Chain A
């Protein structure tokens, strides 16, 4: 797969996880591409940490001083949406009112723990709202490239400091779809450009191959 196609490919597969009417919070990076791939008839309400329910593009008259997204870029609100304060925003997030969150990761492990906020001594971006989202959202989907410069990102156990433990439901990469279960990571779908052996070789955690394994679609 061409490098330039990977992000769109992952986002398109993630979009199929979302159901009509879901309240969804999207992290930065690949997750922000997901709305571009929603199937026809599926409409979701996007929630943004900064305090938007029903966030939308900034449109023709952006107001970068007063209406921005969690990354500080101009944003907008769709008809029927609203603006809320931080405590209410995290009441939605932590209180189980967000149906799904899609986040990127530096590392994710077979127990469903995720690390994506700190590289000790090197990078300290901070957790922002990620810890609350992982704990509070009903469904947590990690959307990321399968490896980083060839090194596995899907591990037996995260080595970087955790963002949250045992919180991830599903991992979607350009190689496949993995579900987190009590027994470990179950490969349920694979990208036919790769063999199952190649996917396992790119994964540190041992994959359980689903009896219903099918091509990613």
Chain B
């Protein structure tokens, strides 16, 4: 059973230099309240694995949305991601300041590499990226030909922490996601030593039907209640 803790307690779990997967896609599905607290915690040198670098200017007028808060506060030293085009601070810190290492990975490969990390698999063979600079990525382990088709062998990804968000999480840690918020959280919840899930609402066991659970509570270590965002 997961532990139910305050956001402040959960933030303290994450040390400097940790590798952290963050659910969310352009901020949709990010653990907003947890990330806000983390951005004020002073934790630094994070390796962040996230779909994208999110963006300044959130839908509710936030100055920085989702993981963009952590990038803005220069708490990230390495970013493994598929897209950073909507957050100009990533290019600034990478190309001008030289303070942020960025490893770009095709989005579908990223999802499968995390899935492999969570599923105990040794890698992913994908045709995506063949003939491109992805072949030179530190996360590309080689090339193989199978049935006359070329594939790249991409490394599995595993993290110290995964930080996800669910619309409803029951007291057994089972997660129900609203709309497009689930994105990478489904695989990330399987691929980290410690999984922290922010609930917009904590509900009683039974309030989410067993067949509607998308992330089983057995993957979740800590639940924080963030309230409706």
Contacts and interface: CB of A to CB of B under 8 A. Distances in A.
A86 B21 CA distance: 14
Contact of B229 (A50, A52, A65, A131): A65
Interface in B107-122: 107-112, 115
B132 interface: yes
Contact of A50 (B129, B180, B187): B180
B19 to A, nearest CB: 19
B55 A129 contact: no
Which one of A52, A127, A130 has the greatest number of beta carbons of chain B within 10 Å? A127
A39 interface: no
A86 B184 contact: yes
B225 interface: no
Interface in A87-112: 87, 89-90, 93-94
Interface string B128-160: 111111100000000000000000000000000
Contact of A126 (B25, B104, B126): B104
A139 interface: no
Contacts of B134: 127, 131
Given A124-B85, A127-B106, 12 more contacts: A51-B183, A72-B28, A85-B111, A85-B182, A86-B184, A87-B111, A90-B112, A126-B83, A131-B134, A135-B127, A136-B108, A164-B132
Given A67-B179, A85-B187, A124-B94, A131 B129 contact: yes
B183 A85 contact: yes
Nearest to A115: B132
B91 A162 contact: no
B112 A161 contact: no
29 contacts: A51-B182, A63-B178, A63-B179, A64-B60, A66-B28, A66-B181, A67-B28, A68-B25, A72-B86, A75-B180, A83-B177, A85-B186, A86-B25, A86-B186, A87-B111, A87-B115, A94-B127, A94-B128, A126-B104, A127-B107, A128-B85, A129-B107, A131-B132, A132-B108, A132-B109, A132-B128, A135-B127, A136-B108, A165-B132
B28 A126 contact: no
Interface residues of B, number: 53
Interface string A66-77: 111011101101
B96 to A, nearest CB: 11
A160 to B, nearest CB: 11
Interface string B79-91: 0011111100011
A102 B111 CA distance: 22
Interface string B162-185: 000001000000000111111111
A59 interface: no
A180 to B, nearest CB: 15
Contacts of A49: 107
A142 to B, nearest CB: 16
B84 A68 contact: no
A125 B85 contact: yes
Contacts of B86: 71-72
Interface string A43-70: 0000011111000000000011111101
Contacts of B107: 49, 86, 90, 127-129, 132
B180 A127 contact: no
A3 interface: no
Contact of B184 (A85, A123, A125, A165): A85
A150 B110 CA distance: 37
B95 interface: yes
Which one of A77, A118, A135 has the greatest number of beta carbons of chain B within 10 Å? A135
A173 interface: no
Contacts of B167: 66
B187 A86 contact: yes
Nearest to B129: A131
B125 to A, nearest CB: 11
Nearest to A87: B111
B89 to A, nearest CB: 12
B111 A65 contact: no
